[in-house]
Structure 1
Amino acid sequence: MLARYVEIGLAVREAFRQPALREGFIARLKPHRRLIAGCVPAGIQAHGMLPERAPSHGLDEISDADLAQWLVDDGRLIYGEFTEQELDHYFEAVAPWLPLHGHFIDLGSGLGKVVLSAALALPGMRCTGVELLGYRNDMAQMRLAQMLAAGVAENPAAAARVAARVRLVHQDMFDANVSDASMVYIYSTCFAPMMDRLADKLARELPEGALVTTVTFPMAHPAFELVQQFAPPSVAWTSVYLYRRRSALDAGAPSAPSYLYEQDCAAWEYAVRAAFAAYDSSHGN
């Protein structure tokens, strides 16, 4: 997957960087702007993971289907997390709604900060992290081992109990089994293009009464009722939403729209052209 991601990403980035190719960049990406977190895909920006080499294909050689899939994959490779203080606020804020025992699942668990924090903050919960990228999951496993080693030095029995409750899985979140989840946590700030699909998965698979947390973007699906919204900065720098899976769908509730966050066409193009200018200025063009 990553090899194909790089191949297409190099073509997209080249079309962004080269003035002669920019009208093609706009024309190809405009129909798929609903899939972009921001105006320009994160992967082609300076903090992206693409190597500095020339592309083997032009953007005009990439099919629309492959380009759309690349944009989805690019959104899923963005990493974000709460600070330590924000996590403390979060667990304190949601505590009144959490059961004493159950299963906490972080979809898109990255380096494992939320899962490990949950294991310490929620002693009655099993805690699972699901992460798409193997290297991030490996780093999370290292963090877990370090935390447990420190715990063994102080209290071996307590460390063993934590170890028994934590699981870090290298897996696509859309393939994860959430059927016994009590709480699903999603740091969804970078997942705008996938919110509908995530909501649909959770609506189909979560048990009645299960809780879901999303960040920045609400989850507009009739299977879920909003329990609480935490406005910034009460818990975190952005809005935090807490939902509960309804016992049954309200027949009169509107269906979720196909795409919740499609950007206005003219505004998107204006922002992209501004990004072109900013790139040229920073590179002396």
Structure 2
Amino acid sequence: MERAFSDLDRDAGLEIAERSHQARQRVQGSSYFYGELDLKAQLEVLARAGARKGGVFVDLGSGLGKMVLAAALPGVFSECRGVEILPELHESAVKARGALLADLAGRGLPPPSEVSLRCGDMLREESVADADVVFVFATCFPPEVMSSLETKLSEEMRRGARLVLVSKQLAGCCADFVPFGDNNGYLSVGQTHSKWNLDCFFYVRA
């Protein structure tokens, strides 16, 4: 992972996202920023979410693709998908995927799960109907985006599927989702290049 993202740390991702958003706004609002978990936190989240052999992982708003690739590396999921609305972030993620695959092959290591990265609107262009684990880094999502996201998840996610939300909790109207795991579905996780942790909430579709 480190080799694939050697020149794509959090600051690089933030710079790409800000530059892209300033050039042409694709979402409402003026504060559209990039965030990511550090590798230790990514692994903690994936372990708690409970990867199922042959399952499907989906990251809505996948940025540089780090969470998607972290989910794919162990080869447990059959497919790991990410959708990102900013083309520049998406293009960087695709390059990183290529670098990771080449690095694994060059060292004779087994390939990861199938990885699919696409550029598009997570609310309209990526179904989560087949997902076993859905991950959303929602730190900077405004209320209107969260409302649309909650509607999408309620309509599409199947029973038993798990949802991981960073920095946001589902509104009380989402009765179809219940917290799971220790601390009533709560985990404090680290973010890259920051001394501050982020709140992470785990739900299962009832």
Give yes or no for TM over 0.5. Answer: yes
> Of Structure 1 and Structure 2, which has the larger fraction of its residues in strand?
2
1:115 to 59, 68, 73: 68
| CA pair 70-101 structure 1, distance change in 2 beyond 3 A | closer
| CA pair 48-208 structure 1, distance change in 2 beyond 3 A | same
- Correspondence 1:244 to 2:194: no
Give, in angstroms, the shift of residue 233 of structure 1.
5.0
SS at match of 2:188: coil
| CA pair 186-122 structure 1, distance change in 2 beyond 3 A | farther
> Of Structure 1 and Structure 2, which has the larger fraction of its residues in helix?
1
| CA pair 72-93 structure 1, distance change in 2 beyond 3 A | same
- Correspondence 1:153 to 2:83: no
Q: Distance in 1 between matches of 2:18 and 2:88?
A: 15
SS at match of 2:128: coil
Structure 1: where are the runs of 5+ without partners?
A: 1-46, 52-68, 247-285
Give, in angstroms, the shift of residue 239 of structure 1.
1.4
1:187 to 119, 133, 137: 137
Give, in angstroms, the shift of residue 230 of structure 1.
2.6
Give, in angstroms, the shift of residue 237 of structure 1.
1.1
- Correspondence 1:173 to 2:122: yes
Q: Distance in 1 between matches of 2:189 and 2:153?
A: 27
Identity of aligned residues (%): 29
- Per the alignment, residue 196 of structure 1 pairs with 147
Q: Distance in 1 between matches of 2:189 and 2:55?
A: 28
Relative contact order (C-alpha < 8 Å, sep 6+): which is higher?
2
- Correspondence 1:124 to 2:77: yes
> What does 1:89-108 align with in structure 2 at a 5 Å threshold?
89-95=44-50, 98-108=51-61
- Per the alignment, residue 32 of structure 1 pairs with none
Q: Distance in 2 between matches of 1:134 and 1:70?
A: 10
- Correspondence 1:72 to 2:25: no
2:38 to 71, 83, 96: 83
Query: TM-score, normalized by length of structure 2?
Result: 0.76
SS at match of 2:129: coil
Q: Is the 8 A contact 1:108 1:129 kept in 2?
A: yes
Query: TM-score, normalized by length of structure 1?
Result: 0.56
SS at match of 1:242: strand
Computed over aligned residues only, the root mean square deviation of the Cα atoms, in angstroms, reads 2.5
Q: Is the 8 A contact 1:91 1:121 kept in 2?
A: no
Which structure: larger Rg? 1
Which amino acid in structure 2 is aligned with residue 78 of structure 1?
F
